Amino acid sequence: MVLETNLKLIRDILKEKYLLTKPDKFNYSIATIWLRYKLKKPAKRILKINPYKFFFDAVDYIQKQKPGKMQKTKNGEWTKSAVIYNLFVRAGCAFNHSQNGKLDLPCNEEGFRETGSFMKAIALLPYIKSLGTNTVHLLPITPIGSDGNKGKLGSPYAIKNPYEIDPSLCEPNIGVGAEIEFKAFVEAAHKLGMRVVAEFVFRTSAKDGDWVKEHPEWFYWIKENIEDREPKSNDESKYGTPVFTQAELEKIFYAVGNERFDQLIPPHAIYREMFTDPPKRENIHHINNRYVGILDNGQRVRIPGAFADWPPNDTQPPWGDVTYLKLYNHPDFNYIGYNTVRMYDANLAKSENINKPLWDKIIGIIPHYQRSFGIDGVMIDMGHALPMEMKQKMIHKAREINRDFAFWDENFSVSKRSVDEGYNAVIGYVWADQHEVRRLKKLLMNFAADGYPISFFATPESHNTPRAASRIGCIEYSKYSWVINNFIPAIPFIHNGFEVGETFPINTGLGFSVEDLHTFPSHKLPLFSEFAFNWCSKNEFVDFIKNISFIRNVFKKLILNISPKTFIFHHNNHPDLVIFERKNNKRLFVVANGNPTESNKVNIDLGTKRKSATDLITGKTIQIEKGKLVYNLKPYQCVVLEL
């Protein structure tokens, strides 16, 4: 495993640089919320500081901590007690340090990154832990390709080489490079008793990924002169999502729904004939930021972009910055389609058709990060679409190295299938239901009925969805969601920026209207371009988050109990009131008003002889009249009572 030397190496470098630059004046400011200590003037939101001192103080503090305790389990079961902070390093640690009104790229005049870096992420770890979290989930941290990129910086999901770390995530002035900084980040997290889960995409690559030139047979190729189809067009002479008739779609849905993978309808011949054999390595050239190959017959070929693989009539715009990897080799299936990259045709998905060198390379990614960096788990993007055999090999290899390694699935369905595939948790659908009381109640009722087969993330937002604070009610909705999510047997999940009331989405992948897409064009989104959260926002509610996390920790054993017997959903006729109880030898009542604009009166029999109870959130005493709670709740207000 990784030797604990990298944090000390960086500490020593920072100390030397700080001592050398102590008399100097730096034009380097940070948000005071990043500090692990309170300022004498708490109203001050920005502080000018020597950056080496800021980094050194943080690393020195972390190094002096006694090694944090992490729950020991088997097969990643620690996931059930995780409290997650989801960090997109490039945006989540970005700040206009020079205070010139923009993020300087790639660095500012003094050579420091204004976009995020692992060095800044290390400095933020004490703050992140103070929120009550014990796990950091990182969006992809690998190098980004250039072909088809959106925005100035490109998407972290357009992975150029999954075995390398993005060099733009280091601080050049420290001089150790991104790999050492990331090793130190993982080491620092472990020192604080926090685990690190990294996210990977295993079935796609940047169109100009490093593997294209090395292994052209791992990719699909099409004739270079074929143009890409415009979104919403059905011109089959151009490349895009395969076009099917309504009758064909009905047959496809029937076959897939009944798992008849020997009856899948292929794309039309005009589409299949766009694809060619791969060119030889020596005949591949990098021209204008993309690879172009030349076949033996002189035909010029290129790497095609990807698109949503299911359903086959999905209307998402194509993914022009990535392509699908060719997991199986068969002459009759030399094309990208729902039946070759997702719902694998029975005649394709056979052991003799496995692209074994590619599989071995993919399966080796997780062990590489375990041995080189010491990560504790992975989130697999689009993992539900990987062949089962590949996933089983991934899990086996990873748990040979660390039997407590965790696997998370980027899956919005909460089903036993994910358990059977070896996952410890899924994203789930809280983000989609929480802002609609009727759907939220249905979700909560199931805890009291059958429960759920696998842990899922309790969060009102992710990097693909609208921000919680952008909804009606702003941070009052965020607070409401944080309270509810901390008292259900699920995994509390903070998407970075949530705690400061950030309203600008990272990406517009899920739950956005056509009007939203015009408001947030892709080139302005943080997933593709430089962006910094408003760390100085007056809407931050960090102390509220800490308070709820503290309460949750006190009742952790009860809250984590997944038995339906411990979860009582209180039905009521009011459409906006959400009431549930957690019960064993203790009783916790959670009462919430899901209306964003109107107060509502709750009137419920608590089944107690007590005359009063304390609201654990505010510390206020609430009167109980003849066993009943009669109380007026403000918009999105929550009350938590211990009885």
Residue 81 lies in a domain: no
Q: How many residues are recorded in the chain? A: 643
Separation of alpha carbons 131 and 365, rounded Å? 31
Q: Which pLDDT belongs to residue 604?
A: 93
Percent of the chain scoring above 90 in pLDDT: 93
- DSSP string of 484-535? HHTSSSSEEEEETTGGGT--S-S---SS--HHHHHHS-GGGSTTTS-----T
Q: Which residue has the higher pLDDT, 51 or 43?
A: 51
Residue 590 lies in a domain: yes
Q: Which residue has the higher pLDDT, 382 or 344?
A: 344
The residues, any chain, with a CB within 8 Å of residue 203's CB and separated by 6 or more, are: 324, 325, 327, 341, 382, 385, 386
Q: Which pLDDT belongs to residue 314?
A: 87
Q: Residue 619 is part of a domain; what is its CATH number?
A: 2.60.40.1180
Its domain, for residue 308, covers: 210-355
**Helices in 218-337 by DSSP H: which ranges?**
246-257, 269-272
Locus of tokens 């993007």: 381
Average the pLDDT over each of 43-57, 261-275, 492-506 and give the range with the smallest value: 43-57
User: Could you say which of 355, 377, 400 is where a domain stops?
Assistant: 355
Residue 329 lies in a domain: yes
Separation of alpha carbons 216 and 218, rounded Å? 5
Residue 610 lies in a domain: yes
Separation of alpha carbons 51 and 58, rounded Å? 11
User: Could you say which of 305, 340, 355 is where a domain stops?
Assistant: 355
User: Could you say which of 313, 335, 355 is where a domain stops?
Assistant: 355
- Measuring CA to CA, which residue among 134, 202, 184, 165 is closest to residue 395? 202
- DSSP string of 183-208? HHHHHHHHHTT-EEEEEEESSEEETT
- For the chain, how many structural domains are there in total? 2
Q: Which pLDDT belongs to residue 4?
A: 59
Is the peptide bond between 23 and the residue preceding it cis, with omega within 30 degrees of 0?
no
Over residues 24-53, mean pLDDT: 89
- Contact indicator for 162, 365 with CB cutoff of 8 Å: yes
From residue 505, give the alpha-carbon distance in Å to each of 200, 275, 463, 473. 21, 36, 7, 17
Banded pLDDT at 1 (limits 50, 70, 90)? very low
For helices 178-191 and 51-64, give the axis angle rounded to 10 degrees. Answer: 40
**Termini Cα distance of the chain:** 47
**Torsion 462-463-464-468 (CA) sign:** positive
Locus of tokens 């999105």: 636
- Cα dihedral 335, 339, 344, 346, rounded to 10, equals -100
* E strand intervals along 203-344: 204-206, 221-223, 275-276, 284-287, 290-294, 300-302, 322-324
pLDDT, tens digit, 9 for 90 and up, residues 74-122: 999 999 999 999 999 999 999 999 999 999 999 999 999 999 999 999 9
Separation of alpha carbons 638 and 617, rounded Å? 8
pLDDT, tens digit, 9 for 90 and up, residues 142-186: 999 999 999 999 999 999 999 999 999 999 999 999 999 999 999
- Measuring CA to CA, which residue among 383, 415, 426 is closest to residue 76? 426
Residue 292 lies in a domain: yes
Q: What residues form DSSP beta bridges with 593? A: 577
- Measuring CA to CA, which residue among 282, 288, 168, 290 is closest to residue 222? 290
pLDDT, tens digit, 9 for 90 and up, residues 603-629: 999 999 999 999 999 999 999 999 999
From residue 503, give the alpha-carbon distance in Å to each of 155, 495, 536, 537. 20, 12, 13, 11
Residue 628 lies in a domain: yes
Q: Which pLDDT belongs to residue 352?
A: 98
Q: Which pLDDT belongs to residue 316?
A: 80
Q: What is the mean pLDDT of the chain?
A: 96
Q: Which pLDDT belongs to residue 24?
A: 81
Give buried/exposed letters for 200-222 (b at 16+ CB in 10 A, else e).
Answer: bbbbbbbbbbbbbeebbebbbbb
- Measuring CA to CA, which residue among 79, 40, 22 is closest to residue 454? 79
